Structure 1
Amino acid sequence: MSIKQMEYTKNKELTLSELESYTKKIVPELEQEYQQISFVYESEGVVLGRIVGFIHWDHLQIELFYVSNNTQGQGIGTKLLNHVESIAKQQNKSYIFLETMSFNAPKFYEKHGYEVVGKIVNSPMENQIRFFYKKDIYI
């Protein structure tokens, strides 16, 4: 017996497939769709913001979200966030979930109706907080 390293993307895909197969046996009525989402906001060929995530089961999860420093506060983040929220609504998902840090944008998410559902104090370093946010989607 041994534990060995495996290439991340392949291991992630195989693990997801195996978990989905297991889940389907236990809860066959649960939708097994896994849809990646990836959008950029650009102006004159320059990317000013990016958002990446996925839709799975009953929710949309935002994994990565970035707006360039020199354009923050100009509504780009709001436009990207509204765009993925509209996708969640169109697909009848129950909620949106994301993770952020106290030094990133917790006030931005709260301003847009996201609520803290969990936090880890002193992470990723002392005097910082890792936040987990959720926004219910109602059609």
Structure 2
Amino acid sequence: MTEQRPQILERHEMSPAEVSALEDKFNDFNASRTGFHDAASIGFQLELHGRIVGGVAGFTWAGFCELRQVWIDEPFRRSGLGTELLNRVVAEARARDCSHIYLATYSFQAPEFYKKFGFEAVAVIDGRPPGHQDIIMRLSLAS
């Protein structure tokens, strides 16, 4: 019996469940290569009258935390909520024995906010997007 070759399907709008299934496979591969089997989601959201007005989402694994989404609706910015969210992330990351938190931001987003919080730029990609920078930032959780 010959094995069939999988077909490539164009799927630009994958469901959250499909993306999660890919993440699970990615986590399994990483764990098999490193011995770290502690991948877990991390997230906090801001709600007002049942509506999401902000939040953070990411994961922890192998002693670090990565934030993939950080967002607060415009009317709630500069109100201390971003700091509160990040303080919650820091506390949870420490509880999970993480040594650092990583995130990516663009130069037109919130790099100054993250710097004030204690993050440092560890990589900068000029021209991504054109006329701006993609900035990878890290926060040390050392006491």
TM over 0.5: yes
CA gap 1:15/1:138 in 2 versus in 1, 3 angstroms: closer
TM-score, with length taken from structure 2: 0.82
CA gap 1:90/1:15 in 2 versus in 1, 3 angstroms: closer
1:89 aligns to 2:94 (yes or no) = yes
Q: Distance in 1 between matches of 2:132 and 2:68?
A: 19
The CA RMSD over aligned residues, in Å, is 2.0
Deviation at 1:44, TM superposition (A): 4.5
Cα offsets for 1:84-139 (capped at 9, x unmatched): 0111122221100000001110000000000000010000x211000000011024
**How many residue pairs were aligned?**
132
Q: Percent same amino acid at aligned positions?
A: 25
The aligned residue for residue 133 of structure 2 is: 129
Q: Which amino acid aligns with 1:18?
A: F
1:21 aligns to 2:32 (yes or no) = yes
Q: Distance in 2 between matches of 1:67 and 1:115?
A: 21
What is the DSSP-based 3-state SS (H/G/I as helix, E as strand, rest coil) of the residue aligned with 1:138?
coil
Do the aligned residues in 1 keep the contact of 2:43 with 2:89 (CA within 8 Å)?
no
The aligned residue for residue 58 of structure 2 is: 53
Q: Distance in 1 between matches of 2:135 and 2:98?
A: 22
Q: Which runs of 5+ in 2 are unaligned?
A: 12-17
CA gap 1:35/1:12 in 2 versus in 1, 3 angstroms: closer
Q: Distance in 2 between matches of 1:130 and 1:20?
A: 28
Tell me which of 32, 37, 42 is aligned to 1:37: 42
Q: Distance in 2 between matches of 1:20 and 1:116?
A: 28
Q: Distance in 2 between matches of 1:115 and 1:59?
A: 15
More moved, 8-17 vs 31-40: 8-17
